[in-house]
Amino acid sequence: MRSARICLLWISLLLPGFASLAADAQSLLPQTAGGKVRFSAMVELPKAYLSGVCVMVNDDGVLKGSFFNEFGISYMDFSYSVEKDKVKLHSVQSMMDKWYIRKALRHDLRMLIHQMEKGVGEYENKRRKMTYRFTPLTDDEPENLEENDTEE
């Protein structure tokens, strides 16, 4: 009986620790200072979409991100303060640089980051009908395109 109690105590003490570790392992965001994660990123709008690459860096508790298209042309630079739970937009491409777009982006990026902390790289803003999909990129992707693409 006593050993069962000790066992339960150990489980109750260790479980939160394991749960926290599991949450960290799931997070898609760079966890350590100086850490970097690159995403294949897509923002779907009702009549169009933005696609490209988003690079996120953990800069001592501030998450800094740059989102640009495949040709390297920037969409936006942003940062997210973990402490304040707030997104700041540092630059936004002129075509999108309107106050209401900035407001929507600040909100949606914050929600997306919350999702990414849980290991989900997707956020849907149902009111504005916008979907954000961020998938981590790896360095070792195969070099060749699918055959059906090059031999259309």
* Chain positions contacting another protein, by CB under 8 A: 36, 38, 40, 42, 51, 53, 55, 57, 64-66, 68-74, 77, 90-91, 93-95, 137-139, 141, 143-145, 149-152
> What would the DSSP string read from start to end of 108-130?
HHHHHHHHHHTT--EEEETTTTE
At its nearest, how many Å lie between another protein and the CB of residue 78? 9
What is the rounded distance in angstroms from the CA atom of residue 93 to the CA atom of residue 105? 12
How far is CA 102 from each of CA 94, 96, 114, rounded to the nearest angstrom? Answer: 11, 8, 18
At its nearest, how many Å lie between another protein and the CB of residue 7? 47
**81 Rama sector, left if φ>0, alpha if ψ -120 to 50, beta otherwise:** beta
How far is CA 41 from each of CA 16, 87, 122, rounded to the nearest angstrom? Answer: 33, 18, 10
Nearer to another protein, 17 or 142 (CB): 142
Nearer to another protein, 38 or 110 (CB): 38
| Number of Cα atoms under 13 Å in the Cβ half of residue 24 | 8
Nearer to another protein, 58 or 116 (CB): 58
- Write the CB contacts of 87 (distance below 8 Å, at least 6 apart in sequence): 78, 79, 80, 105, 106, 107, 109, 110, 113
Nearer to another protein, 32 or 138 (CB): 138
Nearer to another protein, 7 or 96 (CB): 96
At its nearest, how many Å lie between another protein and the CB of residue 97? 9
At its nearest, how many Å lie between another protein and the CB of residue 100? 18
At its nearest, how many Å lie between another protein and the CB of residue 60? 13
